[in-house]
Amino acid sequence: MKVFTKSLIFFSSGLLILTVLFRFSLSAMLQNQYFRSVWIIAALYGIMLFIIGWVFGKKDYQELPLYDIGFRFHFATYLICNLVAEIWYLLGYQSDYEKITVVHLTTLFWGIGIILHFIFFLITRKNAIKGMNKDDIFE
């Protein structure tokens, strides 16, 4: 199976750009104590991620011959968002109101979700080709 499709690479590139912009905006707003505005930035970030995930995920689904429950996109999101957050702190760009503990807890709990998603991915990958049961194809 092709792991790195063109759609996944474009999604990851867009995700990286949006995540860096989000981190920059988040830290700047928190540092300037615009606490209410942070929710607007977070909502816009979430909407933009949903849109690029929808667009590139749909293209990937149409091009990929196997049934996929979005694990590769989920893993790319996990990896990019958490790496950007860790690097952001290592470079010292965070505001006085941000704590590294929040990033570590997010990585931990999201990681548990990734493991569960991976298990479901392995189960569904064995049993289906684009949503068709393997028994129906090979009679």
SS3 of residue 128 by DSSP = strand
Q: Cα-flanking dihedrals φ and ψ of residue 132, to 5°? A: -95, 140
**CA-to-CA distance for 25 and 38, rounded, in angstroms?**
8
pTM: 0.84
pLDDT in tens, 93-112: 999 999 999 999 999 999 99
102's tokens: 């929040």
Contacts (Cβ under 8 Å, ≥6 apart) of 78: 110, 111, 114
Nearest to 53 by CA among 7, 96, 99, 87: 7
pLDDT at 34: 93
Residues 1-28 as b/e (b if ≥16 CB within 10 A, e otherwise) read eeeebebbeebbebbeebbeebbebbbe
Are 31 and 97 spatial neighbours (Cβ–Cβ below 8 Å)? yes
**CA-to-CA distance for 28 and 94, rounded, in angstroms?**
8
pLDDT in tens, 26-83: 999 999 999 999 999 999 999 999 999 999 988 887 877 666 668 889 999 999 999 9
**CA-to-CA distance for 65 and 129, rounded, in angstroms?**
7
Q: Cα-flanking dihedrals φ and ψ of residue 110, to 5°? A: -65, -35
